[in-house]
Every structure is written in structure tokens, then in C-alpha cells.
Amino acid sequence: MALSRTFSFLVLLAALAVGTNAAAQHLTYAEWQERSAKDLRLLPRYGNKEKTAEQVLADTVLVQRVMESEPDRRKASDRLAGMGMGLLAGGDMVSAMYRFNHAFLLDQHNPMVFNGYGAFFMALDRTTEAGQQYLEGLTYDSTNVQLLNGLATAFIAEQYAQRPTDATRADQSTKAALELLQRAQNSDPRHADSAYKRSVCHLLLKECPAAWEWYRKYLELGGATASSSYRQQLETACPPTKGR
């Protein structure tokens, strides 16, 4: 029975994707603003705007169809959010936001929905808006590793913009990222990406021993050995000493 239910859910997800591929595209922030002004589905949580009776009916039908295949609302929401992340990774930002909002319909308090919204704005290079979404998700799960890591990434991105004109503020953003990454690793000590980003933060702060320590930890946790470009940066800024 479980196999049949899973298969039905996958078929439903495939059906949801029909008709969206033609619109598959990367959006600039200006393009997103223009399109989302005409299409509530491109706004996180549909912009919290009042819907027409037709839109409400369509939402109700969608939820019913999904729950026929997966009665657990959180599991169904997680799957839709995961599908959205896959679409976003493939550059289909329009369909990705549609899926994140479908996931929201199933479970409005699901942290992974807000992780999706945050990732969407990171793809638009809008770190402030991304941070707001990650923070909201953390109100539902303050130990969520993906949200903590995502918010830290937003701070790291901000410091790159700040550093040329305000090094002090950039360092503050980097330290804020470090605190978030520490929380992420408290939740999951084996989270390799958090270890890698901790190394990056220490490198930005010119804390060479710690930068090497967390880079080695990243590799121990199974981090990609293909990170040769970062290692080259690390070796240039922090020349290895004996034992490294």
C-alpha cells in the first residue's frame, strides 16, 4: 500500500509539472517584480493577498488531490518543497516558486517551505529578502540546519558587498554567520557544508589556524575534494605550516 501511495504521489507531481516547462526560466529581480505583480503564485505565501473564489477553489482541489496520495500534510509539503528546490537548482525559478507555494498550502508552518523561499531570493541575489524568509522559518524550528546554513550564507554574501567600503560591518556580518553555523553544527555535527562555510568565515576574518581546522574538518566529513580552488585561496592567504 505504501508503495502504491508513493507511486501515486509521484504521478501527481509529474502532472503538476505539465504546462510549466515552457515558462521555465531564470528571472532577474526586475523580471520577478514585474511578473509577480500579475501572478500571485510567484509571491511567497501568495503575497498574503486575498484570493478570488476561483483561486480558492483551485487551492482546495490541489490540496485534496495531494492528500489522496499522501495524507500526511507535513510529508506532502516536504516533497513539494523538495521538488521546488530541484526546479530551482535547474534554473526553473517560476515553477520552483509555484511548488514552494503548493507546499505552503499543505503546511503553512513547515520550515522547509521558508527554506525554499529563502533559496529563491538568494538565486535573485536578494540577500535581505532571503534572510527574512530564513528567519521566519526559524520561528517554527530554531534548530533547522538548512535554515541556519541558508541564513549564514546570506550573511556571507552580504559581507562581500560590504567589505570594499565598510570592513567593520563586513566583519560583523561574518561573525554573525559564524554564530549561525555553530548552531547548525550543534544540531548536526556531521554537516559538511557548515564546516566548509566556517572555514570560509575564518579565512575572511584572517583567522588562519581556524580556517585550516575547519577546512580539514570539512574534508573529514566527506566534503568534496574538488574544492581545489578554495584550497588554493586558503594556501595563498594562509600559507601552510608544517603539519597542515
The reported pTM is 0.88
State whether CATH 3.90.1150.10 applies to domain 142-244: no
Summarize the confidence of residues 112-116 as an average pLDDT.
98
Which pLDDT band holds residue 243 (cuts at 50, 70, 90)?
very low
Residue ranges covered by each domain of the chain: 1-131, 142-244
- Confidence at residue 227, expressed as pLDDT on a 0 to 100 scale: 64
Show the cell assigned to 40. 500571485
Which pLDDT band holds residue 223 (cuts at 50, 70, 90)?
confident
How confident is the model over 133-187, as pLDDT tens digits? Answer: 999 999 999 999 999 999 999 999 999 999 999 999 999 999 999 999 999 999 9
Which pLDDT band holds residue 228 (cuts at 50, 70, 90)?
confident
Which pLDDT band holds residue 241 (cuts at 50, 70, 90)?
confident
Q: What's the CA gap between 46 and 243, in Å, rounded? A: 54
Q: What's the CA gap between 170 and 174, in Å, rounded? A: 6
Q: Please say if the pLDDT value at position 7 is more than 60.
A: no
Query: Would you tell me how many other CB atoms lie within 10 Å of the CB of residue 39?
Result: 14
- Confidence at residue 8, expressed as pLDDT on a 0 to 100 scale: 46
Q: Please say if the pLDDT value at position 16 is more than 80.
A: no
How confident is the model over 33-66, as pLDDT tens digits? Answer: 999 999 999 999 999 999 999 999 999 999 999 9
Of 5 and 81, the structure prediction assigns the larger pLDDT to 81
How confident is the model over 67-77, as pLDDT tens digits? Answer: 999 999 999 99
Which range, 16-20, 26-30, 228-232, is most confident? 26-30
Q: What percent of the chain has pLDDT over 90?
A: 82
